Amino acid sequence: MNLGVRLHRTSLALGLVSLTLALFSLACVNEASELNKAGVALESRNSLEESIVKFDEAIRLDPRLALAYYNRGQAYFILGQFEPAKQDYDQAVNLDPESILFYTKRGDAYLAMGQPDQAVQEHNEAISRDPQFGLAYYNRGSAYVALGRRDEAIQDYNQAVILDRRIRITTNIGVRCKLYDDLYPKDVAYQDCRGFSSHGSRFANAFGERAFEYFERGEYRKAIMDYDQAIRLDRDRDLYNGRGLAYQSIGEFDQAFQDFEKAAGSTGFAPAHYNQGKLLYEIGKYRFAAKEYSLAILKDPLYADAYTGRAMAYTFLAKDALAKLDIDRAVELGVDRVELEGVIQELEKQR
């Protein structure tokens, strides 16, 4: 056999090997993609450990499949294993640095690990790459909340809503919507209502905490405006209670009482009953005040201020024996006896 024939056959054999390897590689890629999809399906049914096995297999077959790392990171994140989640997001970013979602999710992992400053940097990176990506603003807002930067958080939440109406933070009370499909094919619109966050509640929290800061500074009307915004998003009893205190501070007792009633609700909320009692006491309704203090104590038998308030109400009602019992209980819970008995003596002179 001449040299030319041998070279031809060798070349042909090498070509067949290359083709076989290419076909095998393509088969691996296709199988990896199918395993990734199977993992996402399991993840959506909350079979997280099983989904991780599928993602492991997908990555073994195709180590450059960024989505498999991302989706495995999602499963770890949901399981509360934030460091492995971040490592998978790292790998996803390395393989596909143009995917802004990967930066945003890595920011979420940093926030979950108690590193909000680093989380902000990740969301900044996502926003610098795509200033129209609403989710990055939304998640950066959550990092700002963790840092106590309420105004910036609210600005980001507002920007997120403007840019992406699928983030359904609306004026509908108690809104609950899940965010974005974990599969995230970049050429397909995201699926609504996926993920594990209550957007209304998170947005309301930003307004609620800023309202509390206004209240602490004595800016009660500004506090009320922020509580209004928060309550439109989330009918949380603490928000009603806070707004009630703000109304009480500016002398709008009817509004305050309504908010305390809403905060107390059908199941009862000790601070709301206490605040109702305090308000009724201030306007001279001592019998009703004592009743509300009693409800607060019923919900929280260790509520020292409620015993103090009821002792004062009982004093005006000339129920001195009951007042003494409450004084003793308040002292047991840490109230200064000399100071409290001095207050009671002054009240006795006024009745």
The per-residue b/e assignment along 67-92, b for 16 or more CB within 10 angstroms, e otherwise, is bbbbbbbbbbbbeebbebbbbbbebb
Quick one: pLDDT at residue 140? 92
The fold adopted by the segment(s) 17-97 is 1.25.40
Question: Cα–Cα distance between 244 and 257 in angstroms, integer?
Answer: 7
pLDDT digits (tens, 9 = 90+) for 262-274: 999 877 789 999 9
Q: What percent of the chain has pLDDT over 70?
A: 80
Quick one: pLDDT at residue 200? 58
**Residue extents of the structural domains in the chain:** 17-97, 281-351
Q: For the domain bounded by 281-351, which CATH number is listed?
A: 1.25.40.10
| Res. 5: pLDDT tops 70 | no
| Res. 158: pLDDT tops 80 | no
Quick one: pLDDT at residue 110? 97
Which amino acid does the sequence have at 268? G
Q: Do domains 17-97 and 281-351 have the same CATH topology?
A: yes
CA angle, residues 327, 258, 286, in degrees to nearest 5: 30
pTM equals 0.54
Question: Cα–Cα distance between 174 and 198 in angstroms, integer?
Answer: 9
Question: Cα–Cα distance between 227 and 221 in angstroms, integer?
Answer: 10
Question: Cα–Cα distance between 141 and 256 in angstroms, integer?
Answer: 30
Which has more confidence, 25 or 251?
Answer: 251
Integer angstrom CA distances of residue 250 from 224, 245, 279: 10, 9, 12
Which amino acid does the sequence have at 295? L
pLDDT digits (tens, 9 = 90+) for 295-307: 999 999 999 999 9
- In this structure, the number of other CB atoms found within 10 A of the CB of residue 272 comes to 25
Which has more confidence, 12 or 178?
Answer: 12
Quick one: pLDDT at residue 161? 67
pLDDT digits (tens, 9 = 90+) for 84-140: 999 999 999 999 998 888 999 999 999 999 999 999 999 999 999 989 888 888 889
Q: How confident is the model at residue 208 (pLDDT cuts 50, 70, 90)?
A: confident
Which has more confidence, 344 or 161?
Answer: 344
With contact defined as beta carbons under 8 Å apart, do 233 and 204 qualify? Answer: yes
DSSP run (H or E) holding 315: helix 304-316
Average model confidence (pLDDT) for the chain? 81
Residues whose CB falls within 8 Å of the CB of residue 33, separated by 6 or more in sequence, listed in order: 58, 62, 65
* Percent helix, strand and coil across the chain, each to the nearest 5: 75, 0, 25
Residue linked to tokens 């009951």: 322
